[in-house]
Amino acid sequence: MRQALLLVTVAGRLCGLPVEHVRETMRPLPLETLSHAPRFVAGVSIVRGEPTPVVDLALLFDDGKASKPTRLVTLRLNESRCVGVLVERVLRVHYLEHEQSATLPRLLDAAATELVQKLSELDGELLWVLQAGPLLPDSVWNALASHEVAP
C-alpha cells in the first residue's frame, strides 16, 4: 500500500503531509492573532474568504523559536474545517510504501504527541509523517467560532 505525501521542510526536518488533506500551497498571508491560543498558533488568515487558523509547525515541534516560513499549506480536516501550516519549503509529492514506515519508538511517543503518525527514511534522512487532524485543540476552534481575534 502506498501513501502519497507532500514533502515539506520545517525547522530543518523533512516532513510529509498526507496529500489527501492538502488543499493548496501559497505564500504566507497576513495574520491576526487569536487570543488565548497555544504558542504554536501563529494566528488566523483569510484564505479563500474563510477565517483559517494557522499553525507554525516549527513551534509545534517545540524547537523554541519560530521558523522562517516561505509557504503556507492549507489542509482540509473535514467538510467544515481547514487549517494552514507554515513551512520553510514545499519540495514535492512522494509515494511512501507501507514497508518504508515504522511506528514511533516509545521514547518519542510523548515528544511527538499525536502530531507524528509514523517515521520513515528518505534518502538517508529521517522523514516525519504528520497527521492533519490533531493539529489544533478544540479551544482554538471554539475561539475562532466565537471570533476572539485580537486586533
pLDDT at 71: 97
Burial class from Cβ neighbours inside 10 Å (0-12, 13-18, 19+) for residue 130 reads buried
Judge whether 10 and 88 are in contact, CB under 8 Å: yes
All 3 cell numbers of residue 139? 479551544
Quick check: 37 and 28 in contact, CB under 8 A? no
Distance CA 34, CA 7 (A): 28
In this structure, what are the phi and psi dihedrals at residue 150, rounded to the nearest 5 degrees? -80, 150
C-alpha cell at 4: 502519497
What predicted TM-score, i.e. pTM, was given to this entire model? 0.82
Neighbour count for residue 43 (Cβ, 10 Å):
19
Output the tens digit of pLDDT for each of the chain's 151 residues: 788 999 999 988 899 999 999 999 999 999 998 877 888 889 999 999 999 999 998 887 766 665 689 999 999 988 888 999 999 999 999 998 865 555 545 445 444 456 777 778 788 888 888 887 777 877 778 777 776 555 4
| pLDDT of res. 9 | 94
**Structural domains of the chain, ranges and CATH numbers in brackets:** 2-145 (2.40.50.180)
